[in-house]
Amino acid sequence: MSSLLIRNGTVVTATDKYQADVYIEDEKVSMIGARLEVTADREIDAEGCFLFPGGIDAHTHMELPFMGTHASDTFESGTLAGLHGGTTTIIDFAIQTQGKSMQSAIEEWHRKADGHAVGDYAFHCAVTDFNDETRKEIPAVINEHGINSFKIFMAYKGALMIDDRQMYELMEELVDHGGIMTAHTENGDMVDSNIQKNLEAGNTEPRYHVLSRPAICEAEAAGRAIDLAHQTGCPFYIVHTTCEETLARVKQATLRNQKVHVETCIQYLLLDDSYYFKDGFEGAKVVMSPPLRKKKDQQALWAGIEQNLVHHVATDHCPFCMDQKAMGKDDFSKIPNGAPGIENRFELLYSEGVTKGRIGLNKFVEMSSTGAARIFGLFPRKGTIAVGSDADIIIFDPEVKHTISAETHHMNVDYNPYEGWVVQGKTRTTILRGTVAVDNGEALVGEGFGKYLKRPPFDSKV
Ligand code: URP
Ligand code: ZN
Ligand code: ZN
């Protein structure tokens, strides 16, 4: 048995903050206490540092085949970049190809991740074709593959989008088997109509991406999905929420005692739609769906975090290099949708959230880790620092400043949307299941270190 003792750190969970030593045996935390009288194979002094639970990013797309190309991070490069920044676990989307089974998508995602991911990982299953055959797969997806969360796309018609009937019937099925529905909420028909009109008018630059996808496209779809979830009783989670209008729909649902789980992403808290109006092709760097919104929406999202309407800050990490983005040089609708973020989310949320006084330390942990662990059935194995939990611990130095740059980041992408941002606070050491995975910028584990995490059926009481 190997042992590791972290001395003198300040343990922060979603509810507590206290000075303690943390003793780890093999992969688990086995003791927490003041001045523990134990010896260990290795001791780390964390004086002056916070000990946070390892970050969880519940929305990533490693190697996603999308819009005629592939997201540029592999499970190896993407999860390693996450470890550098403080994220120890991801939940990626195994996306069904229309006409094929969910099982084949899950097998494909295992081929990409197993033996390659450096950090821990789980999958959601994205259902793009729900019919009498694929309906039969649901129990096995949940009980055999350990995937309790399903995703539907209400946009990207012809590739990923399903219609309202499929969405409604899938929700009914999930209620019977213990699944939670997650949704990309944009009205795909409205979006496609706007894109066509813009292209016919000769509007081809990146800015027409946001102009084709106004907030109402998102809020209308969110409201519709929330209503269907209420009607069926299906647990429901909105991915990458961007705007005040969607949060208003969520708030309205609380009046009938419907709980809607809400994710936003770090970019929607920190960047705004002026990015699309920069010179040249710069705006392509943040062509993602839904698009960046207005400053008033950022304020609404921060308020939503404070008011417990938002439960997780993810990334929707889906990087494309600039030569891939150039596929849409003459037509904004061909720019691959997505942007990088996995390495920067944790530190940016601390820097912009905690040090700027927008959120407290416990809320930071809730948003970066615990919230996602609870919703998706990983808690208390992940998402906290407690006896019996996986020893996924971030030793975080709040005094260290650093500057984000594509020159120094570890993500496999040739730009960073936060280039030049100065960040207060840095992940000094990342411990994953009791092993020091990254220390002062040096990776100490490699390809295949990550483990696949099976999750139990959805439990609303966790
Ligand atoms: O633009 C995005 N978000 N790309 C990834 C796919 C998705 O919609 O989540
Ligand atoms: Zn999406
Ligand atoms: Zn996504």
Dump the DSSP string for 178-216: T-EEEEE---HHHHHHHHHHHHHTT--STHHHHHHS-HH
Q: Is the pLDDT of residue 461 over 90?
A: no
Question: Interior CA angle at 356 toward 353 and 357, to 5°?
Answer: 80
* Number of Cβ within a 10 Å radius of residue 373: 26
C-alpha to C-alpha distance for 335 and 240, rounded to whole angstroms: 19
- Ligand 1, atom 5: nearest CA belongs to which residue? 338
Atom of ligand 1 nearest to the CA of 61: 5
411 in Cβ contact with 73 (< 8 Å) = yes
Binding pocket residue ranges, ligand 1, CB within 6 Å:
61, 184, 288-289, 316, 318, 337-338
pLDDT digits (tens, 9 = 90+) for 28-71: 999 999 999 999 999 999 999 999 999 999 999 999 999 999 99
**Which of 318, 332, 342 for mutating ligand 1's site (highest number of atoms within 8 Å of CB)?**
318
User: What phi and psi, each to the nearest 5 degrees, are found at residue 354?
Assistant: -75, -50
pLDDT digits (tens, 9 = 90+) for 145-159: 999 999 999 999 999
Q: Is the pLDDT of residue 267 over 90?
A: yes
* Number of Cβ within a 10 Å radius of residue 380: 17
Q: Is the pLDDT of residue 103 over 90?
A: yes
**Which of 63, 185, 289 for mutating ligand 1's site (highest number of atoms within 8 Å of CB)?**
289
- Ligand 1, atom 4: nearest CA belongs to which residue? 338
CA of 60 to the centre of ligand 2 (A): 10
- Ligand 1, atom 9: nearest CA belongs to which residue? 316
pLDDT at position 462, please? Answer: 79
CA of 9 to the centre of ligand 3 (A): 35
Q: Is the pTM of this model over 0.95?
A: yes
